[in-house]
Chain A
Amino acid sequence: GAGVSQSPSNKVTEKGKDVELRCDPISGHTALYWYRQSLGQGLEFLIYFQGNSAPDKSGLPSDRFSAERTGGSVSTLTIQRTQQEDSAVYLCASSLAGQPILQPQHFGDGTRLSIL
């Protein structure tokens, strides 16, 4: 079956521009996560959705970052006024409902964002 799909796979943009990253989770997965992985760094958790609701947005790096999810499916991560330090691979994961701790997270292959 189809896995988690992210688009675009690569994005190059100029500093100061806004970017929108999209995640299509596995059908039926109600939990959705966003992470980012900077060059040479580990994966950093950003935000979690259960359905359309994100109970805790404190993991977002700054107020330039926002995320939404509609219809319990597709999610978008928006970065406004991009800075060079935003360059990273942005990864999305989804999992089934139930006890989130016990459900495996299924990751997409990410969007590689480069800020010039």
Chain B
Amino acid sequence: DAKTTQPNSMESNEEEPVHLPCNHSTISGTDYIHWYRQLPSQGPEYVIHGLTSNVNNRMASLAIAEDRKSSTLILHRATLRDAAVYYCILRDVYSGGGADGLTFGKGTHLIIQP
């Protein structure tokens, strides 16, 4: 799977929007962009995924650049519970068929200030 680059950490204030960037300049046409997060002392939690179009769900929005070389996870109104490590992961539809699992990088440690 292609590599992703994320900032090591970001800080935001409670009740404000948060934009978490991810660069994936070597993304292929069959790579889906997935986001997971891991709260302290818990297993990772699926957040959202997309291919080309922007996606929205109850947790967040995913904005994908037109050239797909970058994407941004948007938390519209951060709460203290959103403090976690956020992982941007690419998954190639034709690579292993799922048998290779998720490849987690270092992710972005999001700090929320009250």
Contacts and interface: CB of A to CB of B under 8 A. Distances in A.
A42 interface: yes
Interface in B71-114: 91-93, 95-107
Contacts of B32: 101-102
A41 to B, nearest CB: 9
Nearest to B43: A107
B44 interface: yes
B46 A100 contact: no
B46 A105 contact: yes
A56 B96 CA distance: 10
Nearest to A34: B101
Interface residues of B, number: 25
Say what secondary structure dominates the interface of chain B. Answer: loop
B104 A43 contact: yes
A35 interface: yes
Interface in A95-116: 95, 99-110
B104 A42 contact: yes
Nearest to A103: B98
B107 to A, nearest CB: 8
Contacts of B96: 56
A33 interface: yes
Given A99-B93, A102-B32, A106-B46, A55 B99 contact: yes
Interface of B: 32, 36, 41-46, 49, 91-93, 95-107
